[in-house]
Homo-oligomer: A and B are copies of this chain.
């Protein structure tokens, strides 16, 4: 069964080999204060610079999940409050976690078909952080680098934090435009779940130090203190970090991945345009995600296509929340091979 679900998704076909290598090399028993681990961490960070163009001075940190990252940002960086701009369920969840820690957190909800109107955007001095969900997995929308650039340009004194849980390593992100970026490895990195990535700029590091929040097991200052020596604030998922390292080694530079992702998404969109029973959930091409596609149709057709796909060994992702009965989603993640995607496209074109 090939899974096209955008939750924990297909892992790279080479994983079994890497898992065996990890076992043979003793990585599964490596102490997280040892040179073996510190080298692995440093090398993985270097690979993030080489392959994903993470800028010099930006620091890679390991957490348990994107959910934990939601909280760390408000806990350890936000000084007054965050202004959260979102259109879907994950953006809303992030807002809710942040609001619990800082009740003055503001929600600026936009429609899924809408892009952020930066010109009209008014964010007052009460907000020192702008929170963006770059790729909203629930409704398959995205925010472009150009929009992030425009916000950064309009509000140079504010921090920008960007949720790229299901887009980092799938499309090219201009990390210089924002201060906090995060992701989960079970999406575009094509790895088993259980590891969150958090990337912070020198400005974010300085702000965390200035805020001075300490004492929690995941206080950013404590994490950074450990990370200076390429260590972590708790016994981490060393196995997951090793697998991440191997997958990054294999990866072409992100601009090539980006082109491939976008080209393939166009092929998928063409296939849906070809069908008579389905249409894209998001009609506005400027709002539409490059890594996750949502397709909508009448309830009976959605149920039928999911069943028929399963019969042919393919699992379509369900729609999210209220959209579950009337939509399905397809992950356009790099670990899915072109051959697998072609098989799906051939199948979709039958409708």
Report which A residues bind B (CB closer than 8 A). 1, 3, 5, 7-11, 15-16, 19-20, 23, 26, 28-33, 64-68, 70-71, 97, 100-101, 184, 186, 192-195, 215-218, 233-240
Contacts and interface: CB of A to CB of B under 8 A. Distances in A.
A194 B20 contact: no
Interface centre among A7, A234, A240 (most CB of B within 10 A): A234
A68 to B, nearest CB: 6
A100 B19 CA distance: 39
Contact of A194 (B8, B19, B239): B239
B8 A235 contact: yes
A100 B216 contact: yes
A215 B97 CA distance: 7
Nearest to A233: B67
Contacts of A97: 215, 217
A192 B239 contact: yes
Contact of A234 (B64, B216, B233, B238): B64
Given A70-B217, A100-B215, A194-B237, A28 B15 contact: yes
A234 B65 contact: yes
Contacts of A195: 194, 237
A127 B61 CA distance: 36
Nearest to A96: B215
Contact of A20 (B3, B16, B70, B238): B16
B8 A29 contact: yes
B15 A194 contact: no
Given A10-B29, A11-B29, A29-B9, A194 B16 contact: no
Contacts of A1: 26
Closest 3 CB pairs of A and B: A194-B237, A100-B215, A64-B64
Contacts of A216: 71, 100
B8 A19 contact: no
A193 B7 contact: no
A33 B193 CA distance: 13
Nearest to A34: B7
5 contacts: A11-B29, A15-B28, A19-B23, A66-B234, A194-B194
